[in-house]
Amino acid sequence: MKTKLKYHKRRLLSHLIVGSIFSILGVFSYIANTNVLFFEPVVSTSLGILNFAIYGYMRYFQYATIENNAITRHTVLNKSVDLNTLERVERKDGDLIITAGSKKLALNLNCMEADSITVLNAFLLEAEIKTV
């Protein structure tokens, strides 16, 4: 069973808004032949497209996935921890740090929706993992 731990909606929406603002500024500066906010039109349009790409990536892959007794955090380079070799789970400053063998996986709970945090806690309890 594959369970996705979702990003908080505000985090997704912020990338969408910033992408829209930079794209609008880039298009406006192309039309008016001016530099807006000291950026060339290509730079502001590129920043807008980059934020749209980040939004799409974050919306499609979400923050993390629980699948086959492993947790994978989705970034440019995905990090994964197999829970069969789990040694320790630690809560520290809004982060959940999972240690398994020589691998460490830090999950920022502030980035996740409340429903996803509940699912994660239920999964860790089900696996009888003690949180320090």
Residue 131 lies in a domain: no
The C-alpha atoms of residue 16 and residue 55 are separated, in whole angstroms, by 6
The answer as to whether 49 is a domain residue is: yes
Q: Name the domain boundary from 44, 61, 78.
A: 61
Q: Are residues 76 and 56 in the same domain?
A: no
Residue 7: Cβ-neighbour burial (10 angstroms; 0-12, 13-18, 19+): buried
- 72 vs 126: CA distance, rounded Å: 18
Domain count, the chain: 2
Give the three-state DSSP class for 93.
Answer: coil
- With a pLDDT cut of 70, the percent of the chain lying above it is 92
Q: Report yes or no on 98 lying in a domain.
A: yes
Model confidence pLDDT, tens digit, residues 58-81? 999 999 999 988 899 998 889 999
Q: Residue 132 domain-assigned?
A: no
Summarised one tens digit per residue, pLDDT across range 35-63 is 666 667 888 889 999 999 999 999 999 99
Residues 75 and 53 in one domain: no
pTM metric for this prediction: 0.81
